[in-house]
Amino acid sequence: MSSAPAQSLVAVPFLSEAPDLVAATLEEARAHPAVGLVLGIHGDDGTVNAAVGELVGGSHGIDLVPQRRIGSFRPGKGDAINTGFRFFLDETGFQRLHFYDADIRSFDRSWIERAESALDKGFQAVRHFYPRSPTDGMITWMVTRPGFGLLWPESVLPWIEQPMSGEVAFERDSVAVLTSDPVVVAQSDWGIDTAITHRSVAHGLSIYETFAPQGKDHQLYGSLEELRTMLLECLHTLQRLRGASAPRPIRHFAESAGSDEAPAAIQRIAYDVDATRALALQPWSPDQLELLHQHFDQDLKDLHAATWLAVLGVLLEKFDASSPDWQEVAFRLWMRRVLTYSEAIEGLTYTEAMSQLRALVHRAATR
């Protein structure tokens, strides 16, 4: 493990996660010798905030600060990330900044060690990737990565393993670059991770992707309704990024994952399939049917890979984030795509299921 003097700040945004898990994450991060301060960035859940404060109260090297209102969209994770960026630059002299999500049951100091080692190699940004359930990351696999492939097929963007990863690290100069970018500053909602990935490449930051073999064992979902807001905000972010400066060729390295195998805890079904099917069977409103008839000429009952890419292309062009009907259309089409994929991988091995996801991204980037 690194014996260098403490030079890093670790930021952990949290909102309503289990207080004992948040506290354990903060304490584990503080135990790494390269970390001089751990910053818990909290939302407005007073009960959780009080419980976390009680658990880590008096712990040396752990501070809790409220999430600031910084961006232009719904107050959310983006404001928390930008709070961490600003605290790091304005309140500390540390040279490196890490972010880790607060709900990772498999988090330990090795995540920090891997990022520190990558930064030691001279890279400006580090991104963690990891095994995950074949039915987890359905916004990443069905929207963000194929969206990157459709919009910027010649760039590295479609091939970044976890473009929505909350586990990232940066050198100080890289943080200054990102905080000077109006796209990043404005992105106060769930779109922040997608925006940071795109803008890092647009600014030419070198990126090292480090593999965490234990996987990201984190809180999963009920029906896909729980991911509606995230889905819509990430789709809207891709639309906004079309008007920003384009990605550039960068120095990029991704570690080998070795194999597609994953711990058993990671391979479970990530959402409630039956509850999601019930949502998918709800009738469309007349206005929603009009949008479907006007903009989509595909058979929308079973959204297999080729059909989904055509649908996604329309959504990237036509989706109106301010329209409740467009919101419902986009959400339900994505939900149908996830259900179609989930049914297609029944009985397949983990490796075979993940190959289908990778094939979708490849198809998007090479159309």
* Same-domain pairing of 43 and 77: yes
Is the CB of residue 217 less than 8 Å from the CB of residue 266? yes
* Same-domain pairing of 52 and 187: yes
Residue 259: what pLDDT? 66
pLDDT (tens digit per residue) in 184-231 = 999 999 999 999 999 999 999 999 999 998 877 767 788 999 999 999
Q: How far apart are the first and last CA of the chain?
A: 45
Residue 47, domain member (yes or no): yes
Residue 177, domain member (yes or no): yes
Domain count, the chain: 2
* Same-domain pairing of 260 and 270: no
Residue 139, domain member (yes or no): yes
Residue 187, domain member (yes or no): yes
| Beta-bridge partners for 168 | 99, 127
Mean per-residue pLDDT of the chain: 95
* Same-domain pairing of 255 and 120: yes
* Same-domain pairing of 253 and 213: yes
pLDDT (tens digit per residue) in 238-294 = 999 999 999 999 999 999 987 666 777 777 788 999 999 999 999 999 999 999 999
Strands (E), 212-268: 252-254
Strands (E), the chain: 8-14, 35-42, 62-66, 96-99, 125-129, 168-171, 207-211, 252-254
Q: How far apart are CA 352 and CA 360, in angstroms?
A: 13
Residue 59, domain member (yes or no): yes
Cα dist from 349 to 101, 134, 239, 262, 364, whole Å: 28, 10, 35, 11, 23
Predicted confidence band of residue 1 (pLDDT cuts 50, 70, 90): very low
From 264, 293, 328, give the residue that closes a domain.
264
Predicted confidence band of residue 69 (pLDDT cuts 50, 70, 90): very high
Q: How far apart are CA 362 and CA 214, in angstroms?
A: 26
From 264, 297, 323, give the residue that closes a domain.
264
* Same-domain pairing of 64 and 177: yes
* Same-domain pairing of 66 and 191: yes
Q: Which residue in 363, 129, 92 sits closest to 255, CA to CA?
A: 129
Residue 198, domain member (yes or no): yes
From 237, 264, 291, give the residue that closes a domain.
264
Q: How far apart are CA 170 and CA 183, in angstroms?
A: 18
* Domain residue limits at 330: 266-365
- Name 277's Cβ contacts closer than 8 Å, sequence gap at least 6: 339
Residue 2, domain member (yes or no): no
Angle CA(341)–CA(232)–CA(132) in degrees, nearest 5?
45
Residue 2: what pLDDT? 46
Residue 282: what pLDDT? 94
